[in-house]
Copies of this chain bind each other. A is one copy, B any other.
Amino acid sequence: MYELLLKYINEHATKPLTDNEVELVKSALLPKKLRKKQYLLQEGDVCKYFAFIVKGAMRQYSVDDKGIDHIVYLSIENWWVGDRESFVMLTPSVYNIDAWEDSELLLITRADLLNLLSQVPAIAEMARLMDERNFIAMQRRLNASISFSAEKRYGDFANSYPDFMQRFPQHIIASYLGITKETLSRVRKQISK
C-alpha cells in the first residue's frame, strides 16, 4: 500500500528516506478505500485530510445555483488531492471531492503533515517541489482561461494530460475546461477535419 508513496517521495527528494523516516511516514498516513462516487470531501465540511492517490481517479468540483458541477481539478495515481484552502484555514469547503473510479488513498491530517514536514527533510523537499509545480500549472491554466479559445484550451489539455483523456469522459473534461459537453463535442469535430 505504501510503496507508491515512498517511491514518489524518494523520486522527489535528494536523499532517500531512512528506515526510521519510512516508519514515520507510514504511521502518519491512513489507508482508505473509496468506491466510485463516494466522497472524500463534501461542500460545507472542513477538509480534514489531504490524500495521496495510490490507485484510482478523483475529481474536485463546485456546484452552482443551477446545480451544475464545475470541475476545478482532476487527479489520478501519484497525485495529491484535497482542498488546500479549507485544509489550511479550517474553513468550510466550497468544493466536493469524490471518486470517479474505485480508489485507494493514503490520508494525512494537517497536524500529522506539519509534524512530518518538520521531522522529515525529504517530505519538506517534496512538498516544496509539488508547490512549485502546482503553482506553475495553475498559472498556465489561468493564463489559458483568459487568453485562449475553447479549441486551444482543449488542445493544450490533450497535450499536457494524455492520461486524463483516457480516464475521464468528455463531459468531465468539458467541465474542467469551463465549456459545455456539446461545445466540446463540436470543437473536437472541428479539429478532426
Residues 127-154 of A contacting B (Cβ, < 8 Å): 131-132, 134-136, 138-143, 145-147
A156 within 8 A of B: no
Task: Return the chain B residue nearest A148 by Cβ.
Answer: B64
Contact across chains for A145 and B146 when beta carbons are under 8 A apart: yes
Give the docked Cα–Cα distance between A88 and B128 (Å): 12
Chain B residues near A72 (CB, 8 Å)? 139, 142-143, 146
Q: Closest Cβ of chain B: how far from A101's Cβ, in Å?
A: 22
State the main secondary structure of chain A at its contact with B: helix
Contact across chains for B85 and A139 when beta carbons are under 8 A apart: yes
Query: What is the oligomeric copy number?
Result: 2
Contact across chains for B134 and A135 when beta carbons are under 8 A apart: yes
Chain B residues near A26 (CB, 8 Å)? none
Task: Return the chain B residue nearest A95 by Cβ.
Answer: B143
Chain A contributes a number of interface residues (CB within 8 A of B) equal to 28
A49 within 8 A of B: no
Chain B interface: which of A6-14, A159-167, A175-183? Answer: A175-183
A36 within 8 A of B: no
Give the docked Cα–Cα distance between A147 and B145 (Å): 11
A33 within 8 A of B: no
7 contacts between A and B (CB under 8 A): A62-B147, A71-B146, A84-B139, A88-B132, A135-B138, A138-B139, A138-B142
Known pairs A71-B146, A72-B142, A146-B177 / 10 extra A-B pairs, C-beta < 8 Å: A62-B147, A70-B146, A70-B147, A72-B139, A84-B132, A85-B140, A131-B135, A142-B145, A146-B176, A146-B178
